[in-house]
Amino acid sequence: MDSYQLAKIVQWVGTLHTRKRLQKVVYLLQAAKCPLDADFFLHHYGPYSNDVARLTDTLVGQQLLIEKEEEAGVGKKFEYELSGRVIAAL
């Protein structure tokens, strides 16, 4: 999976309200035969890919994805959306 593919997924979905949702969207697209080439394994809350997590962190670090953090019950909740400069480029 590359950064362009992840950016297009986030653009298509809009705002992703949790990290878990981002993982599941990529997993379901890959299960539907989209050639994303991310390795998944079963984790506590469903499918998880280190590839997707690492790529998400990279895009946030490059300020291509906007990560919003909120307090939620026990821990923190993260939301992801594309930054304005990426939307213009896609």
- Domains in the chain, please, with CATH? 3-89 (1.10.10)
Question: What does the pLDDT read at residue 49?
Answer: 96
Residues 6 or more apart from 78 whose CB is under 8 A from it? Answer: 18, 19, 67, 68, 69, 70
User: Does the pLDDT value for residue 87 go beyond 70?
Assistant: no
d(CA 29, CA 2): 14
Q: How confident is residue 34, by pLDDT bands cut at 50, 70 and 90?
A: very high
Per-residue pLDDT band at 36 (split at 50, 70, 90): very high
- What pLDDT does 23 receive? 94
Q: What is the mean pLDDT of residues 24-49?
A: 93
Secondary structure of residue 50 in the 3-state scheme: helix
pLDDT value at residue 24? 94
pLDDT of residue 35: 92
At residue 55, the pLDDT reads 95
